[in-house]
Amino acid sequence: MNFDLVVKNGLVVSASATYHADIGVSAGKIAAIGEDLAGAQEIDAAGKLVIPGGVDIHVHMQMSLGDGVISSDDFYSGTRAAAFGGTTTIVDFVEPGPEQTLVEGLADRRAEADPQVVIDYGLHMTIGPNEIAKLDQVQAAYDAGCGSFKLYMAYGFRLDDGQLLRALEAIRDAGGQPVIHAENWDVICALVERNVQAGRTTPHWHPRSRPAPMEGEAAGRAIDIAHFVDTPLHIFHVSCSDVVERIKAARAAGWPITGETCPQYLFLTWDAYDAPGLAGTFPVCSPPIRAKSHQEALWQALGRGDLQLVTTDHCPFTSDLKARGLHDFSKIPGGVPSIEMRLAGVYQGVVREHFSPNRWVELCCTAPARLAGLHDKGDIAIGLDADLVIFDPDRPVTLSTDFLHERCDWTPYDGIELTGWPAVTISRGEVIIRDGEFLGEPGRGRFVERIPNIVKR
Ligand SMILES: [Zn+2]
C-alpha cells in the first residue's frame, strides 16, 4: 500500500509508549504504524521525536473587552503561531450577546473563526450572569458541539455562588464538562480599591491584590459546590500551590476534579511586575504570576500528577493597550502570549527531569484532548486524525518577538533559552509548517464538535 504521506524513522512518543516506527497517513488519518512504509510524500524524522499535535484548550483570539480593547491575535495569526509551535487544535470561547441564544452566539463566533483558522478548533460556551436565564438552552449548545462550559468567579462574567450552583446543575444534566476561572472577586475588589486609593498603582500591586490563598479559597469553594452538585469540574490556569493542594485533596477523595497550569506560571515570577516602565505592565494576567516557590510547586505538581494538563490562556494585548494602565494597574488589560512556546516550554520539564517525554505528551496533547472531548486528537493510533509534530529535541532556541509569530510587539519570554523545538507540523495529513516555513492557508482548519466522556445523569 502506498500512503499519501509517511513520516519515517522517527522515535514515536505517545502518552503511554515510546518506540521507533514509520507512520503512514491516508486521507488525513493515521492509516498505519509500522516498518518500511512507503508514501507519495515521505519525511525523514531520524533523530527526532514524533508526537501527536499539541492541543491547547484555553485560548482567546480577537477577544473584545470593549472600549477598543481587543486581544491582538485574530483566528488567523493566532492559529498560525500555534502551528509554528506544534499545536494543531485549540479551544476558544463563545460569549453570547445578551439578546442572543447560546446557539446564535456559537454561530457568530464560528463566522469569525471559520474563514481564518489554519488548524482545527472547538469552542467552550461561556455561561455568564446573562446566561442564567438561558440555562434551558445548555442542552442545545451541547448538541451543537459545545460540550464544555466556561464559568467565571471574577469580572463582569462573574457568577455568585447560587448562580454557580444552578449553572453546574444545568451542565450536569446535559452531560457537559464545566471549566472555571476561580478567584475570590469580592476580596480582589476590596484590595484593589484600597491599594489604588493609597496611591499603590504600579503593576507591583497587581499580584498583591489577588493573593494566592484567596485563589485557593475560590477553587476550593467551586470544587465543593461541584461535589455537592455531583459533577466534574476543571480548574483553569492554576497559578499557585494553594490551588494545587485543593485539587490534590479532591482527587484523593475520588472526586472528578482536574486542573491545568500555563507557561507564564511555569517560566515567570512576580518579579516581572517590577520591571521599569511599560515592561512591568506586560505580564499582567489573572490569576497573577506568583513568587518563585509557587513556580517550583507547579512543575512538581505536573510531574506528580497533581495537575493534569498545560494550556496557555493565550490572550495578548499590544503595548499601546497595556499602556492604558501604566498609572493604574487595575486598568491594564490582562493576558499574555504563550501559544507558540507552550509545547517546547513544557518540554523543559523533560530536559530538567521533572517528568518523562510520555508525561510531556500527556500534559500537552492527550489529556487536554480527552478532557475537551476531542476524540480524534491528542494521540497516535490508527484511525485518528493525522495531527503530528516532528520535534527536534536538541535544537536550542532563544525566544524573542523576532523568533515568534504571535501578533504582539512584546513577549514575556524575551531572552529565555529552550532546548527543543518543532521542525514539522502536520494537520490532518497536511504539512503546514516545515523548517520554519508556513505552508497552510487560512480557513483550512475545521470546527470540531466535542462530546466529553461524561455519563449523562
Ligand atoms: Zn482564559
* Rounded mean pLDDT, 55-78: 97
| Ligand 1 geometric centre to CA of 25 (Å) | 34
| Ligand 1 geometric centre to CA of 5 (Å) | 36
| Cα–Cα distance for residue pair 169/132, rounded to 1 Å | 11
| Residue 201: predicted pLDDT | 98
Counting Cβ atoms within 10 Å, is residue 119 exposed (0-12), middle (13-18) or buried (19+)?
buried
| pLDDT at residue 359 greater than cutoff 80 | yes
For 148-186, the pLDDT digits (tens) are 999 999 999 999 999 999 999 999 999 999 999 999 999
| Residue 451: predicted pLDDT | 86
| Ligand 1 geometric centre to CA of 178 (Å) | 14
* Rounded mean pLDDT, 92-108: 98
The three grid cell numbers given for residue 48, joined into one nine-digit string? 527526532
For 254-269, the pLDDT digits (tens) are 999 999 999 999 999 9
| Ligand 1 geometric centre to CA of 126 (Å) | 11
| Ligand 1 geometric centre to CA of 60 (Å) | 6
For 364-374, the pLDDT digits (tens) are 999 999 999 99
* Percent of the chain surpassing pLDDT 90: 98
| pLDDT at residue 454 greater than cutoff 80 | no
| Ligand 1 geometric centre to CA of 58 (Å) | 6
pTM: 0.98
| Ligand 1 geometric centre to CA of 317 (Å) | 13
Domain boundaries, the chain: 2-51+378-438, 53-372
The 3-state DSSP class for residue 349 equals helix
pLDDT category of residue 231 using cuts at 50, 70 and 90: very high
| Ligand 1 geometric centre to CA of 337 (Å) | 12
* Rounded mean pLDDT, 395-407: 98
CA neighbor of 233 nearest in space, from 250, 256, 262, 251 = 256
| Ligand 1 geometric centre to CA of 284 (Å) | 13
| Cα–Cα distance for residue pair 264/283, rounded to 1 Å | 8
| pLDDT at residue 409 greater than cutoff 80 | yes
| Ligand 1 geometric centre to CA of 152 (Å) | 10
* Rounded mean pLDDT, 278-288: 98
| Residue 456: predicted pLDDT | 53
| Ligand 1 geometric centre to CA of 435 (Å) | 30
pLDDT category of residue 244 using cuts at 50, 70 and 90: very high
| Ligand 1 geometric centre to CA of 397 (Å) | 27
CA neighbor of 13 nearest in space, from 366, 275, 336 = 366
Rounded to a whole number of angstroms, the distance between the first and last alpha carbons of the chain is 46
| Ligand 1 geometric centre to CA of 360 (Å) | 22
| Ligand 1 geometric centre to CA of 286 (Å) | 9
| Ligand 1 geometric centre to CA of 263 (Å) | 13
| Ligand 1 geometric centre to CA of 42 (Å) | 38
| Ligand 1 geometric centre to CA of 313 (Å) | 4
| Cα–Cα distance for residue pair 262/72, rounded to 1 Å | 19
Q: By the 8 A CB rule, do 424 and 389 touch?
A: yes
| Ligand 1 geometric centre to CA of 315 (Å) | 7
* Rounded mean pLDDT, 368-381: 97
The 3-state DSSP class for residue 362 equals helix
The sign one gets for the Cα dihedral 264, 268, 269, 275 is: negative
| Ligand 1 geometric centre to CA of 420 (Å) | 27
| Ligand 1 geometric centre to CA of 285 (Å) | 9
| Ligand 1 geometric centre to CA of 173 (Å) | 25
* Percent of the chain surpassing pLDDT 70: 99
| Cα–Cα distance for residue pair 178/151, rounded to 1 Å | 7
Count of CB atoms situated within 10 Å of the CB of 414: 15
| Residue 452: predicted pLDDT | 85
| Residue 224: predicted pLDDT | 98
Which residue shows C-alpha cell 513520516? 7
What's the topology of domain 53-372? TIM Barrel (3.20.20)
| Residue 455: predicted pLDDT | 57
What CATH architecture is 2-51+378-438?
Answer: Roll (2.30)
For 111-121, the pLDDT digits (tens) are 999 999 999 99
| Ligand 1 geometric centre to CA of 24 (Å) | 36
**Across all residues in the chain, what is the average pLDDT?**
97
* Residue type at position 237: H
| Residue 453: predicted pLDDT | 76
The residues whose Cβ lies within 5 A of ligand 1, an ion, are: 313
Q: What angle do CA 76, 111, 377 make, to 5 degrees?
A: 60
Q: What angle do CA 149, 81, 382 make, to 5 degrees?
A: 70
| Cα–Cα distance for residue pair 443/79, rounded to 1 Å | 10
Which residues have C-beta within 8 Å of that of residue 68, sequence separation ≥ 6? none
